[in-house]
């Protein structure tokens, strides 16, 4: 039975397949095959032997079971794979892994897995951006309460909220494009990075291996690829996960019973609580928020792995066996859940209107203050007047307009009839709609 939830609960079948043992071993075999071809190209082994090794470098021929049997005996994963491949390659097997060190194979295989995994992340991130941009367009003029410090502020629009999220997702796509050349890289440089076993042919061997695998090569390395690469990757996941966390947190808060402006989808047969039949809990958003905590913690572990001794030690290895697959599977789960939630999000404009009216006009105090300033009252005095009138409105339990209509410093500049106009939330949205239009126009190409 599975122990880790990512084995059955989190992450898509598509993403999981990239990090399964069979795929991991196959990627290692792909690197061994590329090495054999490179060795033949520079004349260190025959083309016939290289062809036999490459032909045998299939997990179906080598077998996971055989690799595991060798590992139980030799206590060394890469050597177990080498022995299994050598046996499958017959007489050519004496040249398997010639001159290479374990991490030439492991790190380059990891680069292939990272490339495949990031292709899925990028695809889903672009899809999420499309969903958010569509929502921004649809709700460009959906007016709602703006909130700061958890308190009602001036009005805003749901479309602007989506547009802001879209900008953040757009920056993540830019970050992803920028980091790919740094984190998707392989190496073939021997025990400490000198490639001494291949002599002067070492640089050419690395070049040929990476050409075969369509990977960029590390400019310089010791026994391993330097782990700032992986730390950047996992930190990126932490950043992206934090944005998804923020979006999910906002939906959770706006789904609160006393707010009720948004809600994540709820299936017909879905159960919210084992004891309270009425409950409709935002469990999808809560899952996103919870998994984001793991991703942020993983960033710390990835940073610790940067610090290794001399040409390398093994402290990063066991950590990365958990860290990389887990981080990919969790961000995969979070992205797909975010797409589902936002694409099927329930929006309640009538409740937004009721909440706008909840404070009886207090959220329009700024609008009146600005108009008083335009008409001649100093900004500071206008602020003091509105502050005093707002306090009176709260204390007496009457609309702000009723208090303002009796304030001489207000009526001197604004008639009672005009007050109604200036306290209309729909007239105080500034450039919200224009901002949404601009964001959608600018980011649409990124979402393709």
Evaluate whether 422 touches 371 at the Cβ level (below 8 Å).
yes
d(CA 368, CA 385) in angstroms, rounded, equals 10
Task: Report the interhelical angle of 77-88 vs 102-138 (nearest 10°).
Answer: 110
Residues contacting 446, CB < 8 A, separation 6+? 126, 129, 170, 173
Task: Determine whether 273 is an active site residue.
Answer: yes
Q: Residue length, the chain?
A: 448
**CA nearest to 42, candidates 200, 213, 205:** 205
CA gap 18, 3 in Å, rounded: 19
Q: Supply the Cα-derived Rg of the chain in whole angstroms.
A: 30
Nearest-angstrom CA–CA distance, 228 and 231: 5
Q: Name residue 217's beta-bridge partners.
A: 186
- Among 149, 310, 318, 445, the active-site one is 149
- Residue the block writes with tokens 């047969």: 269
Q: Is 149 a catalytic residue?
A: yes
Catalytic residue among 17, 46, 273, 431: 273
* Cα gap 135→346, rounded to integer Å: 11
* Token code pair at residue 102: 């374990």
Tell me which residues are annotated as active site: 149, 273
């Amino acid at each position: 039975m599975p122990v880790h939830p990512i084995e059955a609960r989190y992450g898509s079948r598509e993403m999981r397949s990239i990090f399964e043992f069979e795929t991991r071993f196959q990627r290692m075999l792909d690197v061994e095959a590329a090495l054999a071809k490179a060795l033949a190209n520079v004349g260190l082994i025959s083309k016939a032997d290289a062809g036999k090794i490459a032909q045998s470098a299939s997990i179906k021929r080598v077998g996971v079971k055989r690799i595991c049997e060798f590992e139980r005996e030799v206590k060394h994963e890469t050597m177990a794979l080498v022995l299994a491949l050598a046996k499958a390659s017959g007489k050519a097997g004496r040249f398997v892994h010639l001159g290479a060190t374990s991490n030439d194979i492991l790190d380059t295989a990891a680069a292939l897995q990272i490339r495949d995994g990031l292709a899925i992340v990028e695809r889903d991130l672009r899809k999420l951006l499309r969903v958010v941009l569509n929502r921004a367009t649809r709700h460009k003029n959906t007016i709602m309460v703006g909130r700061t410090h958890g308190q009602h502020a001036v009005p805003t629009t749901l479309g602007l909220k989506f547009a802001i999220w879209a900008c953040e997702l757009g920056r993540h796509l830019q970050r992803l494009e920028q980091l790919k050349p740094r984190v998707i890289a392989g190496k073939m440089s021997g025990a400490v990075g000198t490639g001494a076993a291949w002599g002067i042919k070492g640089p050419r061997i690395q070049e040929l291996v990476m050409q075969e695998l369509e990977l960029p090569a590390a400019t310089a390395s010791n026994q391993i690829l330097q782990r700032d690469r992986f730390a950047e990757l996992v930190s990126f996941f932490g950043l992206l996960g934090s944005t998804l966390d923020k979006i999910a947190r906002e939906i959770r808060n706006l789904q609160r019973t006393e707010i009720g402006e948004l809600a994540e989808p709820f299936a017909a047969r879905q159960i919210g609580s084992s004891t309270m039949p009425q409950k409709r809990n935002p469990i999808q958003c809560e899952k996103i928020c919870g998994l984001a905590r793991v991703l942020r913690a993983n960033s710390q572990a990835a940073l610790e792995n940067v610090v290794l001794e001399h040409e390398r030690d093994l402290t990063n290895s066991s950590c990365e066996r958990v860290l990389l697959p887990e981080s990919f599977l969790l961000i995969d789960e979070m992205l797909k859940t975010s797409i589902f939630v936002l694409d099927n999000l329930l929006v309640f404009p009538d409740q937004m209107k009721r909440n706008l009216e909840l404070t009886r006009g207090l959220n329009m105090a700024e609008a009146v203050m600005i108009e008083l300033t335009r008409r001649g009252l100093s900004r500071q005095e206008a602020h003091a007047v509105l502050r005093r009138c707002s306090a009176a409105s709260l204390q007496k339990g009457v609309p702000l307009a009723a208090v303002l209509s009796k304030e001489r410093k207000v009526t001197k500049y604004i008639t009672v009839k005009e007050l109604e106009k200036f306290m209309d939330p729909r007239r105080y949205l500034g450039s919200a709609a224009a901002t949404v239009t601009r964001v959608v126009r600018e980011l649409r190409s990124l979402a393709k």
